[in-house]
Amino acid sequence: MTSDSATKFSQRKAHPMKNTTFKRTGALAAAAITLSLGLAACGDDADETSATGSEDTSSETTEEAPEEEPAEASAGDQVFGDACSAVPQDGDGSFDGMVQDPVATAASNNPLLGTLVTAVGEAELVDTLNGAEALTVFAPTDDAFGKIPEKDLNAVLADKETLTAILTHHVIGEQLDPEAIVGEQDTLNGDTVTVEGDTDGMTVENGDNPATVLCGNIPTANATVYVIDTVLMP
């Protein structure tokens, strides 16, 4: 074989190896591109999942309702009777105001009890009532005193002994709620009163003219008050 022939033969043998190299290099490049695209797609999916998760969490947090603070208790929550609406809504004469003061002082701030307060002052019972540890008081309204003829009322107000007996007949020496007060109770006058009914309707024995509780279970600092429509007579 001549030198030229050997050279040509060698060149022909080399061509197939170059083609194979090109094919392998191309295949590797395609695989790399495919892998790169796959990784990018996975990255996009992860980002979308992360974003969606954040949105869901944010949405859940936003939808949670704020906790409501419990309403503050009022002294007026425990009272009963149609006339309770006549008591002021705020100030010293309101239920929340009266619960801060001892009973005689609390009564002096209530617009329904002006005549009673005058009578307690005339009998010099303010300190006695305010200084007691626990009392229940039946408190006649101004209209209740108005049922007594003016001449008779003035005579009673001028007679300290009689006035004291009448007023202490309205007072029990312990605090009684609407359930405990029902029945016969001893008064500071040394006699008794009998209470009947419940929060739907309550009366206090008074001969032929029983007194009706208009607004009951009113708290003061040292007493429970039941406002009545008639003056009780011993």
Do 196 and 112 lie in one domain? The reply is yes
Do 102 and 47 lie in one domain? The reply is no
The 8-class DSSP code of residue 172 comes to E
Q: Which residues pair with 197 in a beta bridge?
A: 202
Task: Tell me what the mean pLDDT of segment 212-218 comes to.
Answer: 98
Do 146 and 36 lie in one domain? The reply is no
pLDDT tens, residue by residue, 139-159: 999 999 999 999 999 999 999
Q: Is residue 66 part of a domain?
A: no
Closest CA to 221 of 90, 123, 131, 125: 131
- How far is Cα 103 from Cα 166, in angstroms, rounded to an integer? 17
pLDDT of residue 158: 95
Task: Tell me what the mean pLDDT of segment 200-228 comes to.
Answer: 97
Do 126 and 215 lie in one domain? The reply is yes
pLDDT of residue 74 exceeding 70: yes
Q: Is residue 68 part of a domain?
A: no
- State whether residue 186 is helix, strand or coil: strand
Q: Which H helix or E strand runs over 192? A: strand 192-198
Report yes or no on whether pTM surpasses 0.85: no
Do 3 and 103 lie in one domain? The reply is no
The fraction of the chain above a pLDDT of 90, given in percent, is 65
Q: How crowded is the C-beta side of 27, counted as CA atoms within 13 Å?
A: 6
pLDDT of residue 179 exceeding 60: yes
Which residues have CB under 8 Å from 233's CB, separation 6+?
166, 169, 206, 207
| Full domain range(s) for residue 42 | 1-58
Considering 14, 33, 58, which residue would you say is the last residue of a domain? 58
Q: Is residue 70 part of a domain?
A: no
pLDDT of residue 48: 52
Do 154 and 124 lie in one domain? The reply is yes
pLDDT of residue 101: 97
Comparing 32-41, 80-89, 148-157, 225-234, the range with the smallest average pLDDT is 32-41
Do 103 and 219 lie in one domain? The reply is yes
Task: Tell me what the mean pLDDT of segment 11-37 comes to.
Answer: 46
pLDDT interval class at 162 (50, 70, 90): very high
Q: Is residue 52 part of a domain?
A: yes
Q: Which residues pair with 211 in a beta bridge?
A: 204
pLDDT of residue 66: 62
The fraction of the chain above a pLDDT of 70, given in percent, is 69
pLDDT interval class at 18 (50, 70, 90): very low
pLDDT tens, residue by residue, 202-214: 999 999 999 999 9
**Encoding tokens for residue 20?**
């194979």
Cβ neighbour number for residue 90 with a 10 Å cutoff? 9
Do 132 and 195 lie in one domain? The reply is yes
Three-state SS string over 203-227 comes to: EECECECCEEEEEEEEECCCEEEEE
Phi-psi region of 190 (alpha: psi -120 to 50; beta: other; left: phi over 0): left
Do 129 and 216 lie in one domain? The reply is yes
Q: Is residue 65 part of a domain?
A: no
Q: Mean pLDDT, the chain, as a whole number?
A: 82
Distance of CA 128 to the CA centre of its chain: 35
Do 86 and 7 lie in one domain? The reply is no
Q: Which H helix or E strand runs over 193? A: strand 192-198
We report the CATH number of the domain holding residue 109 as 2.30.180.10
Higher pLDDT, 5 or 177: 177
- How far is Cα 115 from Cα 94, in angstroms, rounded to an integer? 18
- Count of structural domains, the chain: 2
